[in-house]
Structures are given as structure tokens and as C-alpha cells.
Amino acid sequence: MPETKKESSAQLVIVLFSICLITSLLLGLTNMLTADAIAANNQRVSDEAMAEVLPSESGYTDITSQYTGGDSTVQHVYQAGEDGYVVEVATSGFGGLVNMMVGVGPDGACTGVSITSHSETSGLGANATKAEWREQFKGATGTVSVTKDGGTIEALTGSTITSRAVCTGVTTALEVVASLG
């Protein structure tokens, strides 16, 4: 009887190993087949967001290496010719990171904000993606904050944390551009 138990244990290990191997191979194949499409989609989202926050005929040049401020929320910095800069920022919201593009004109004022991805609560923090709410950031300079904190930005109802995250992102972008001169 003990030999049968050893054989069935060995058989179980072989079956489990085979299942793990096949699953890993299928996941790797799926990743390999979809990686280019995912990268192209991410690039399209970034391009559309940059064009939304700061339209530029001359295009966008990645100058992230010129930013030496060391702020870990800054993902990328793009120069839009003479039109200004676009800063990609990832700040902490209620449900996780709020990734956004912030346009900054040559006068140092915010030209627009586009939320590119987030994990905020549907119907509450997710409302930060609505254009009518983001419109209030246009023309903002200096430190941007919600009215509860003495600022001028009306927070989203029930989503002060998300609103503060967007304000922090805009303030960071304005500081980055100011540091670049």
C-alpha cells in the first residue's frame, strides 16, 4: 500500500507541474502577442492627452532628463516648442495613483489637465475625468488647492482626496516648469 501512495503522490506532482508549465507558456505567449498593441494604445492615449492639454503644431520633445528636481511623482516632461510644456505626473489618490498630463503655457499658467488613468471610485473620484470639472484648472498658477484648504478649486462631491491629488499634480507640474525656466 505505501508504494501506491508514493506513486499517486509522484503522479500528482507531475500533473501539477504540467498544469503550471502550460499555464506559464500560455501567459507568456499572450503577453508576447499583445505587448505591441498595449504599447501602441498607451502611446495613443499619451499623445491625445498632450494634444488636449496643450495643442502644439511643433510636436512634443521629451526633455525629462533636463529636469533634476528629483520629485518621484514626475513621470515625463515634454517641451511643446514655443507653446510651453506638458508634464506627466502620477499622484496618490483615494484608490491608488492618479496619472495625468498637465499643460503649462509659456506664461507659467496651467493650460489644461487630462487624467490618463486612475483607480478612483466610480461615480465619485472617477468624476475627475469630466471636462467640466477639470476646466477650473485652466489659468491656475502657484500652489493649487481646493477651497477646503483655502484654494480656488471646487472639490468633487465626496472625493476631496481625489481632488487634492489632482491639485497636487497641477502644482507639481507648475513647479517643474518654473524650475526649467
How far is the C-alpha of 75 from the C-alpha of 176, rounded, in Å? 11
Q: Using one digit for the tens of pLDDT, what is the confidence trace for 33-59?
A: 999 999 999 889 999 999 999 999 889
pLDDT at 43: 87
pLDDT of residue 96: 93
Specify the pTM.
0.80
Please, where are the H alpha helices in 106-158? 131-134
Find, among 149, 156, 151, 148, the residue nearest to 130 by Cα: 156
Helix, strand, or coil here: 92? strand
The Cα angle at residue 112 between residues 132 and 159, in degrees rounded to 5: 50
pLDDT digit of tens for each residue in the chain (181 aa)? 455 666 788 889 999 999 999 999 999 999 999 999 999 998 899 999 999 999 998 899 999 988 888 889 999 999 999 999 999 999 999 999 999 999 999 999 999 999 999 999 998 999 999 999 999 999 999 999 999 999 999 999 999 999 999 999 999 999 999 998 7
**Exposed/middle/buried for 39, CB within 10 Å: 0-12, 13-18, 19+?**
exposed
Q: Would you call 156 helix, strand, or coil by DSSP?
A: strand
Q: Give me the pLDDT at residue 1, please.
A: 47
